[in-house]
Amino acid sequence: MYKLVIANRNYSSWSLRAWLYLVESKLEFEEIRIPLFTNAWQEEIARYSPGGRVPVLLDDGITVWDSLAIMEYVREQSPNAVDWPETAAVRAHARSVSAEMHSGFLALRDELPQNLRVRHEMDVGQLSAACRQQIARIDGIWAGCRRQYGEAGRWLFGDFSIADVMFAPVALRFVTYSIHVSGLAREFVEAVCALASVQQWIEAAQTESESLSFIDELVPAKDSPLTPG
Ligand SMILES: N[C@@H](CCC(=O)N[C@@H](CS)C(=O)NCC(=O)O)C(=O)O
């Protein structure tokens, strides 16, 4: 059985992606949870991954780290796992926006960190220009996908795909910080929030006792010690 190493549900968006992928793929796995940035964090995570970050997937002597590598590995192993869209052109589109998410939106990730337990009326004017531009870009990606593929289903590319997993935590950040998106983009936020697995993750996040003050108090990113992502 797979083992998945994750961090705090409340704060760790990359953990959420790998977990959501396995759950929506209906695969069984055991969870190993290591809270971020405790005294034991570095020593604990080093036991599982040379990269020192979560998520990490352990499969019978094989270690896979990094969310996208985990999803690619699992989809190769399991024919029924959540996949990319079927058509080459749509798949290329889904891969492009997913790669854009995986490697980008750094200002947004810094300034609007995942914090599922709270609601914060963010004054968008206080965000950096880069962050505001990234919010607009994400709105454009989601709205564009819904416009193009909305008739095929409720997700970005019709059926639920790896692209939805990549963007799901961003939808939740927009809820946490009351970030407004356009009507079509809103459909994606609503679809993510309605997912039973996402609700299950959020409920579990609410029972966690750890608190990362630099996120809870919204300390500017340059002053925060490490990046929960
Ligand atoms: N590109 C990685 C990012 C993983 C990542 O940044 N994880 C954060 C938690 S959400 C982490 O482990 N941070 C620990 C640290 O910065 O030391 C992925 O896709 O898995």
Looking at CATH, the fold of the domain delimited by 2-77 is given as Glutaredoxin (3.40.30)
pLDDT in tens, 26-75: 999 999 999 999 999 999 999 999 899 999 999 999 999 999 999 999 99
* Cα 105 to averaged position of ligand 1 atoms, centre (Å): 14
Q: Which residues' Cβ are closer than 6 Å to ligand 1?
A: 7, 12-15, 52-55, 66-68, 102, 226-229
Q: What is the DSSP string of 107-129?
A: HHHHHS---TT------GGGS-H
Instruction: Report how far apart the first and last C-alpha atoms of the chain are (Å, whole number).
Output: 27
Q: What integer pLDDT is reported at residue 221 of this predicted model? A: 46
Q: What was the pLDDT predicted at 218?
A: 76
Within the chain, which residues score under 50 in pLDDT?
221-222
- For the full predicted model, state whether its pTM sits above 0.85: yes
Architecture of domain 88-206: Up-down Bundle (1.20)
Measuring from atom 10 of ligand 1, which residue has the nearest CA? 12
Identify the pLDDT of residue 40.
Answer: 93
**27: nearest Cα among 62, 63, 70:** 70
Q: What is the structure's pLDDT at 189?
A: 98
Mean model confidence pLDDT for the chain:
95
Report whether 67 contacts 99 (CB < 8 A): no
Q: How far is the CA of 183 from the centre of ligand 1 (A)?
A: 31
What does the domain layout of the chain look like in residue ranges?
2-77, 88-206
Question: What atom in ligand 1 is closest to the CA of residue 18?
Answer: 20
Question: What is the number of the ligand 1 atom nearest to the C-alpha of 36?
Answer: 14
